[in-house]
Structure 1
Amino acid sequence: MSANTLSAVVETQIHHLCLGDFPCGYGSWRKNKDSAEGGAETEETDALLDLLSCPHSPWWHDVSWSPQAPALRKLAVLSPECLHTNFIYSYFTTLRIMDKGVSIVDNGLLKFSKLEELVLNSNRISEIPAENLPSTLKILELRANWLSDLNSLTRHVPPRLKYLSLGSNSLSSHEDVSNLTGSHWPQLVCLDLSDCGFQDQKALLSALSTLPCLKTLVLEGNPFTLVPSYPGFTVDSLPQLSCLDTSWISPEERHRFRGLAKMSDLIVDLASATVTVGRMKGIPDPVMSGDENAPDFPVVTHSYFITYEFLSHQTPVNLKVGSESKFDEEHVTEDKSRDADPQSNKNCEREMSRPDTMETRHVIAHVSRHSTSKLAWSKCMDFSDTQTYIVSDLGSFKKFLNRGLYLRVEEEKVLSWPAASQDIAVTQPGRTVKEKKSGKGKESPIKSGSTREKSKDKKKKAIPELVQDAPIRRSLGSVHIPLQSLVKGDHKVNVLCDLGALYTESEVEATQTLEKVSSHKKGDEESKQRGGSGTGQKNTASSKGKGKGKKDHQVDVHTDSSVSVQLEPVTVELRVELEKWQSASEAHQLLLQH
């Protein structure tokens, strides 16, 4: 008998009960009922029972695999003469063999002639022959196994079976749907098909409607539950149902969805998800610690935008006028950081305009990258960016939601310079004005203040035409947003993404400057201590470098203030919402619109 067969695992569990060993069974440790006094090594019955039930006892065993196991051990103390082999097998009515590596359900299980509940979750069972199941079985749980079809199970279904759990198995085919009808399961009351791969909602519900006794149904986690018509279509298609996805169906809910099952034209296996990016706060001011003596050129501008990747099969419907969208026709991976090519958006639009688009988009899935519009810095940047994505490959959509969404905060910096033809006309007059005032021939850059002074002159200088360098982009941070709850039945994920505190480039440079200055000062103090410098030398050195020292001190104060500021974390508002019909009348309005 192989170790991975069900009967072998059960036999091992029974052997671990030690029904014939101390403190169970017969032995010198038992007090003889016929004798008035026991031997020196005998134990009272109550003491033997305590050894079985006390968690700190070395004879205590985990018996959670069957509620009959502890009762059987107790019986082995009180009446060990009853424990013959057939009695033990017939004593068990429940077996819970979970995560034990079972791969074969053999006919050894038939020895348990009164078995009513069999739980085999989280094993490696790929096939379960129904002829090896006791006819007395009422509950069968096969969740999280390797089942890929139900053919072997439906050949000889236990006639009394009322509860069947098949969740988290690779079941999705039309053949699996045909094996879930009333002709195979006439007594079934509860059915768990959660986290399987069913995508055809109408076909599955048509089969389940033939189960005459079905009252409780679990379907959450299947790809088709992501479509707008779920759960309304299910509620109206199965009028005998009392509980759906662990929630009781109220009369008010059934009334709201009445008539939806007849609107077959509306029931399309397409999911619609809306992603909204709201306000962003916490970005440090990029010019907060800028140098006042910096030249006018280049002119530096900063803008910020949000990027994320989402699954779609077509160009998403843009609900915000003026927002910027970019898409890749290639399959984008999680760690992909390049920006989408604008040409890709044109290619995507051409593909959607082709006559055979409706056929091809049901087959090919891709992850597209979207960028919000770029905003200039402010304490609170409101993107108000809303995108709706239509997805037809529901299986891929489920995987995408289980993986989650990756959101990035991007910064774009642009340097602008005067056009080459205007360099002389702009810079030369500025030097002449300063030469007249200071009497020096030193060239200095043009300041905005000097430009305003020149506006009073008779010969006004035109504002130079600026030429922009290529944009410099960098990612300020990224965050992962889990979306598994949408697969588990939630309709909306509303989250405030926290990317932590960020530093501007000037603050990073200021930190490096502070470290260099501190290191330089530390070196000077050490050299003075080694040289035994006197008070006079210190005063002399101070007087010689008075101006420079003062300037250095000012830089230190400025640097300390820029670094010591407590920065608030960068936060971004994000909402991901699945479209769900709230009533049959809402669905009817859509039918009229189309």
Structure 2
Amino acid sequence: MADIVPLTAFKAIQDQIKTLCLRDFPCGTGSWHKTDLLSKNKHRKSGAQVIYRYEDVQLDIDDADEENSDQLIELITDPRSPWYMEYSWSKEAGTLKEKAIKSPWLIKPDFVYSCFQTLNIDDKSVTEIDEGLLRFKNLEEITLSANYIKTVNSSYLPASLKVLELCANDIDDITDLCSRPPPLRHLGLGRNRISTLGNCVSGTFWPELVSLDLSYNDLCGLTDLVKMFSTLPKLRNLTLQGNPVSLISGYRGYVIDSLRNLTVLDDKQISVDEKYSFNGLATLEELVRDEALVQLGVISLKGLQCPPEIMNPNSQPDYPVIERTYFVQFMLPRVYQEPVEKLEAPSAYLFTDMQSANEITPLPEMDKGILEQVLIHGVLHNKHQKRFQQGSIGILLLADSSQLMTTDITQPRDVTQTVDVTQTVDPSQPIDVAQPTETEGTPQTLTEPVNSSFLPWDDHMQFNWTRDVTLKDLLTVRDFFRTGMDVHVMEQTVEAYPQWAVTGSNNKMEPKGREQKDKKKTKEPEKAKERLKKKTASTEDFLKSPPKLTNIASFHVPLECFLNGELEYKNTFTKINVVSQTSILSKMSEEKIDKKMDKRKASSKSPAVKKDRKKSPQLKDIGRRKQGDEMFAPTELQLAISVKLGHWLTALDAVAVRKSASLGEIVNAVTK
């Protein structure tokens, strides 16, 4: 990007005034002003030649054309005229041009500047407000939006100024604006980079301020802002939407109850019912915390491909027993900081299953051979099970790793996203996922997953799941809403093996060979039969491999509506031609099984039967093609979700929060 050429506000206004062409036809002095010049010439003589001097211009009136001022004004007011212009940048521009036709001798710099009361200098690459503005002694309203202004010195603003609009600039400090400010009635500072106001916006500096626009900045600390605004005696219109503070649950109610003289908040009229509903909320200042409450919801999911173990149960092997579940993963923001010291060697952690994920057991004494075996095969050898933990073996994590060793994502993943299947949370309790760490280093905004409930496959899965998530870093949340949220439809696959089926250094299941071996050794057929019955029993006593995750589909959820005052986003996302990897594997395995079955049937049938089969060789192929076409038929995956921003409707909502907080304190005291 090229460097911006410095341009002062006064120079930009001068360039705009030059477009009026006040000294050119049909304005200014020229031969086209015969009638007016004769009427104003004190030395007019009938039939004589008169020379009129105006700013070193000599006009021979006798040689002038017959034109009057009304005809010239018509040239600048008729839209069909080539001299017609639009004067959207100033209300006084058209009047000034008419004066340049009727009285061109008045067109002097000081007179021109004194005519302007309103100026709109938008998107002119203005970088500085200079003292040239003081020459506009009657200026009441100036707009300098969409420029590159960084600071504003109020000593360069005319004393007559009442409206100052500086939207969409690069202002991050307004201290200089409060040095000697004019008696403004409206101050617009929206869409800048203001993060703090100090004590600038107060009744001491702005006693006449009626309207204040601070929308889409970086303002935090709602209670401090409201205390400052309460010192403005005439404030009636306040705009704070788009700021991090507008994401707080009690934002609107607290502002309405604290600033009782307000009539408009965020371009929305304050009703009498709102004032009544939020009455008393200003006294509950301790409950108005700088945090946002977001409710995630999954309504339904349909259109998933049928898993192979459900579509063709007879063609599947006895082991492993596959447990397949589906869930929706929301990627929410968090503040991540690199640690000062990195671990030299990874530490291994082991837990039994997904339900006990929070109870992580360290394994400091695990030797390298056993660790490699667990990483490769996913389960421990029988002789090492007693050494660590009894029961089923679950997921192996590395503390120095950003993702699971066994995670299988078919789609490329962003480096800022992590898949965490170990996090299990209570659906009835809100999650706190945006707490900044206290380690040294520059914070980087990343995302972390919040998973919905896990459901087995169904053609139409009704989740009806909701989860309240508390986000404390409001500035990060605001930036996150601008970019939107990624949502993934995930498939989790866990393979379960009976303990007797785990052999030596590999995990190949050989139930028949194991059964025969047990019969020879123990000579107890009844025990062997009991072991065989375990494949139809519950998998609670089985050894479980680490879960494998597959990203079936991903969607991007736009959440910028929350910054514009909306409180709920609900949508149904669709994706065409979704074919999961399991369906492809099922098709391949099915084709192999069909080929084997064909060979066996061909060898067992008589020649006569084979001859009959040759007469209609396409019958079976047709049936197989139909089955394959049905498996690979294009489907439409539909995911219905909802995202709500927490919002207090009445002051009773805050009371309910206080009661729940008190109850939480009691529970904590009892548990301690």
User: What TM-score does the superposition give when structure 2 sets the normalisation length?
Assistant: 0.67
Find the counterpart in structure 1 of residue 652 from structure 2: 585
Q: Does 1:462 align with 2:548?
A: no
| Larger CA deviation: 40-49 vs 468-477 | 40-49
User: Using the alignment, how far apart are the partners of 1:93 and 1:205 within structure 2?
Assistant: 33
The alpha-carbon distance between structure 1 residues 163 and 331, as it changes in their structure 2 partners (threshold 3 A), is farther
Q: CA deviation at 1:285?
A: 2.4
Partner amino acid, structure 2, of 1:114: N
User: Using the alignment, how far apart are the partners of 1:580 and 1:558 within structure 2?
Assistant: 51
The alpha-carbon distance between structure 1 residues 547 and 220, as it changes in their structure 2 partners (threshold 3 A), is same
Aligned pairs for 1:376-525 (under 5 A) are: 376-414=456-494, 419=501, 423=510, 425=512, 462-463=532-533, 465=535, 471-505=547-581
Q: Does structure 1 retain, via aligned residues, the 8 Å contact 2:34–2:64?
A: no
Q: Does 1:225 align with 2:261?
A: no
The CA deviation string for residues 286-333 of structure 1, in whole angstroms up to 9 with x for no partner, is 34995698354566554321111113589xxxxxx9899999999999
The CA deviation string for residues 247-303 of structure 1, in whole angstroms up to 9 with x for no partner, is 222222112222221223223222222212221122232349956983545665543
- Give the gaps of 5 or more residues in structure 2: 39-45, 48-60, 337-353, 359-394, 404-412, 504-508, 517-528, 536-541, 590-610, 663-672
Local SS of the residue matching 1:486: helix
Q: Does structure 2 retain, via aligned residues, the 8 Å contact 1:409–1:478?
A: yes
User: Using the alignment, how far apart are the partners of 1:289 and 1:58 within structure 2?
Assistant: 78
Q: Does 1:143 align with 2:167?
A: yes
Q: Does structure 2 retain, via aligned residues, the 8 Å contact 1:324–1:372?
A: no
User: Using the alignment, how far apart are the partners of 1:219 and 1:401 within structure 2?
Assistant: 16
Q: CA deviation at 1:218?
A: 1.0
Q: Does structure 2 retain, via aligned residues, the 8 Å contact 1:289–1:507?
A: no
Q: Does structure 2 retain, via aligned residues, the 8 Å contact 1:32–1:38?
A: no
User: Using the alignment, how far apart are the partners of 2:100 and 2:587 within structure 1?
Assistant: 76
Q: Does structure 2 retain, via aligned residues, the 8 Å contact 1:313–1:392?
A: no
Q: Which of 5, 8, 20 in structure 1 is aligned with 2:8? A: 5
Q: CA deviation at 1:222?
A: 1.7
User: Using the alignment, how far apart are the partners of 2:299 and 2:510 within structure 1?
Assistant: 43
Q: Does structure 1 retain, via aligned residues, the 8 Å contact 2:142–2:163?
A: yes
Q: CA deviation at 1:149?
A: 1.5
| Larger CA deviation: 280-289 vs 240-249 | 280-289
User: Using the alignment, how far apart are the partners of 2:284 and 2:402 within structure 1?
Assistant: 35
Q: Does structure 2 retain, via aligned residues, the 8 Å contact 1:220–1:245?
A: yes
Q: Does 1:311 align with 2:381?
A: no
Q: Does structure 1 retain, via aligned residues, the 8 Å contact 2:416–2:446?
A: no
Q: CA deviation at 1:43?
A: 6.4
Partner amino acid, structure 2, of 1:217: L
Q: Which of 191, 197, 202 in structure 2 is aligned with 1:168? A: 191
Q: CA deviation at 1:467?
A: 6.7
User: Using the alignment, how far apart are the partners of 1:59 and 1:547 within structure 2?
Assistant: 88
Q: Considering only aligned residues, what root-mean-square deviation do their CA atoms show, in Å?
A: 4.3
| Larger CA deviation: 503-512 vs 571-580 | 503-512
Q: Does 1:370 align with 2:450?
A: yes
The alpha-carbon distance between structure 1 residues 331 and 555, as it changes in their structure 2 partners (threshold 3 A), is closer
The alpha-carbon distance between structure 1 residues 559 and 344, as it changes in their structure 2 partners (threshold 3 A), is closer
Find the counterpart in structure 1 of residue 639 from structure 2: 572
Q: Which of 222, 230, 234 in structure 2 is aligned with 1:209? A: 230
Partner amino acid, structure 1, of 2:302: K
Q: Does structure 2 retain, via aligned residues, the 8 Å contact 1:166–1:194?
A: yes
The alpha-carbon distance between structure 1 residues 195 and 3, as it changes in their structure 2 partners (threshold 3 A), is closer
Q: Does structure 2 retain, via aligned residues, the 8 Å contact 1:324–1:371?
A: no
The alpha-carbon distance between structure 1 residues 385 and 426, as it changes in their structure 2 partners (threshold 3 A), is farther
Q: Which of 18, 21, 24 in structure 2 is aligned with 1:18? A: 21
The alpha-carbon distance between structure 1 residues 28 and 264, as it changes in their structure 2 partners (threshold 3 A), is same
The CA deviation string for residues 33-79 of structure 1, in whole angstroms up to 9 with x for no partner, is 66999999876766644543456654344432112122322333344
Q: CA deviation at 1:409?
A: 0.7
Q: Does structure 2 retain, via aligned residues, the 8 Å contact 1:312–1:389?
A: no
User: Using the alignment, how far apart are the partners of 1:49 and 1:288 within structure 2?
Assistant: 87
Q: Does structure 1 retain, via aligned residues, the 8 Å contact 2:576–2:634?
A: no
User: Using the alignment, how far apart are the partners of 1:337 and 1:189 within structure 2?
Assistant: 46
The CA deviation string for residues 353-385 of structure 1, in whole angstroms up to 9 with x for no partner, is xxxx99959x97763212223322112212333
Q: Does 1:180 align with 2:256?
A: no
User: Using the alignment, how far apart are the partners of 1:136 and 1:424 within structure 2?
Assistant: 94
Local SS of the residue matching 1:573: strand
The CA deviation string for residues 458-495 of structure 1, in whole angstroms up to 9 with x for no partner, is x9993464876654432121111111122222222222
Q: CA deviation at 1:427?
A: 10
Find the counterpart in structure 2 of residue 241 from structure 1: 262
The alpha-carbon distance between structure 1 residues 322 and 414, as it changes in their structure 2 partners (threshold 3 A), is closer
| Larger CA deviation: 496-505 vs 203-212 | 496-505
Local SS of the residue matching 1:576: strand
Aligned pairs for 1:53-132 (under 5 A) are: 53=77, 58-132=82-156
The CA deviation string for residues 214-257 of structure 1, in whole angstroms up to 9 with x for no partner, is 11111112212212221111111111212111122222211222
Find the counterpart in structure 2 of residue 440 from structure 1: none
Q: CA deviation at 1:511?
A: 10
Q: Does structure 2 retain, via aligned residues, the 8 Å contact 1:302–1:412?
A: yes
Q: Does structure 2 retain, via aligned residues, the 8 Å contact 1:497–1:572?
A: yes
Partner amino acid, structure 1, of 2:145: N
Partner amino acid, structure 1, of 2:484: G
The CA deviation string for residues 375-416 of structure 1, in whole angstroms up to 9 with x for no partner, is 221122123332222222221121122221110111234566
Partner amino acid, structure 2, of 1:84: K
Equivalent pairs: percent with the same residue?
30
The alpha-carbon distance between structure 1 residues 550 and 399, as it changes in their structure 2 partners (threshold 3 A), is same
| Larger CA deviation: 367-376 vs 477-486 | 367-376
User: Using the alignment, how far apart are the partners of 1:89 and 1:223 within structure 2?
Assistant: 41
The CA deviation string for residues 392-443 of structure 1, in whole angstroms up to 9 with x for no partner, is 22211211222211101112345667836773637999xxxxxxxxxxxxxx
Partner amino acid, structure 2, of 1:11: Q
Q: Does structure 2 retain, via aligned residues, the 8 Å contact 1:290–1:506?
A: no
Q: CA deviation at 1:184?
A: 0.4
User: Using the alignment, how far apart are the partners of 2:78 and 2:355 within structure 1?
Assistant: 71
